[in-house]
Structure 1
């Protein structure tokens, strides 16, 4: 069944995937997992290491990690929830790859992120710069501990 709502997500450790799957089920939305061509290892995700892959990508404005596969057709979606872990108060660069790889003209993008405590920072602003012909909402930091009712209330407020 094709919905007019898509929940696209990148999950490095499974946390964002759990939230995205729950969100998709509550909204009756289609799901799309953004999979890196080269998977991230635990060492790649070590934010304490300035030489880790995630640290290097975050500091490089031109970094665009390749995505394995792609979404078949994004044209029928009106709203796209995009989920990811927060890396240094912003979206991981693989989200930038996704945003630049698809046509978001006229769509509404609602970012959501998972994080122990870090806020979204200027994520929506960075995303707006990449998809100027879409409406990018401010989004929200979500946690796996949110109840279905809390998650549905937030998602409904975005529709």
Structure 2
């Protein structure tokens, strides 16, 4: 069996719940991508042009610092989960990707979103990191019954 890591960023707890469910139900390792400075509700107000998340997402080169990184060398597959922000992955996902060596790994991403799909997120990440092996992504809205098949077979 492939060794699988579920790495996730969650600002409100939704992605955390999905990531934990996938990891616990399938025996995968779990790693939380945590910002050094946690996001507040005001930081996440996408209607406010001066909110922290809006400022970060408008600067594609910005990399929010993360508390910890990890050695991913023992994993064949790294699954990265996140909420969709501005139709793509939050820039903290770039921070994580750039902090670990994903060369030669199978990388799958999942998102949590009320309506935005995953394809644009995957395309953006593939374009930003063409040397990495991104596979088809998936959006979860609660039911993770297809997670194991998606991770291990697709």
TM-score (norm 2): 0.91
* Structure 1 consecutive aligned stretches of length 4 or more whose deviation exceeds 4 Å: none
Query: Does the 8 Å CA contact 1:5/1:78 hold for their aligned counterparts?
Result: yes
> Who is 2:24 aligned against?
25
| Partner-residue secondary structure (3-state), 2:145 | helix
Query: Does the 8 Å CA contact 2:79/2:110 hold for their aligned counterparts?
Result: yes
Query: Does the 8 Å CA contact 1:58/1:92 hold for their aligned counterparts?
Result: yes
CA RMSD of aligned residues (A): 1.6
> Who is 2:72 aligned against?
74
TM-score (norm 1): 0.89
**Once the two structures are superposed, what CA deviation does each residue of 1:45-67 show, in whole Å capped at 9, x if it has no partner?**
01111211111111101110000
> Who is 1:142 aligned against?
140
| Partner-residue secondary structure (3-state), 1:122 | helix
Whole-Å separation in 2 of the counterparts to 1:22 and 1:132: 30
**Matched residue count:** 153
Whole-Å separation in 2 of the counterparts to 1:44 and 1:126: 23
Query: Any residues of structure 2 matched to 1:125-136 within 5 Å, and which?
Result: 125-136=123-134
| Partner-residue secondary structure (3-state), 1:26 | helix
Query: Does the 8 Å CA contact 1:100/1:130 hold for their aligned counterparts?
Result: no
